[in-house]
Amino acid sequence: MLLLSGCGLMAKAPDEGGRQANGVVPPKVAAFLTNAEAGVQAHFVTTPWGEGVRMTVEAAYDAASGRVCRQVVLQGAEAASGLWVFCQRDAEQWDKVRPVIRVISEGGYS
């Protein structure tokens, strides 16, 4: 499986509960993204993406935008589960971004 991704900022838009579903991530999540080794999981009771969210980080990589990014598997009852991309804005802040291209299987694009 080959996976290619870039990043583009997503507009901040409140979700149905009024929380910020996109944009800058909370400080505890940002610290996890900054410090966690690839494959490490963390559970967050409250996040902008839902309650009781489990995040598993993949290795950091340098995106075409020049930013350090990480793919994250997000799982949780209220969360939009799946593979998400976060890119570092500065030493302490990360943004949820939208993947530009994702190859999900050999020869398949979405």
* Helix extents (H) in 23-92: 27-35
Is 37 a domain residue?
yes
Q: Domain range spanning residue 56?
A: 8-105
Is 1 a domain residue?
no
> DSSP class of residue 14?
B
| Domains of the chain: total | 1
Look up tokens 């598997």; give the residue.
Answer: 73
Dist CA 10 CA 24 (whole Å): 10
Is 38 a domain residue?
yes
Specify the 3-state DSSP secondary structure of 109. strand
pLDDT digits (tens), the chain, 110 positions:
334 344 444 334 333 333 344 567 999 999 999 999 999 999 999 888 888 899 999 999 999 889 999 999 999 866 578 889 999 999 889 999 887 765 555 454 44
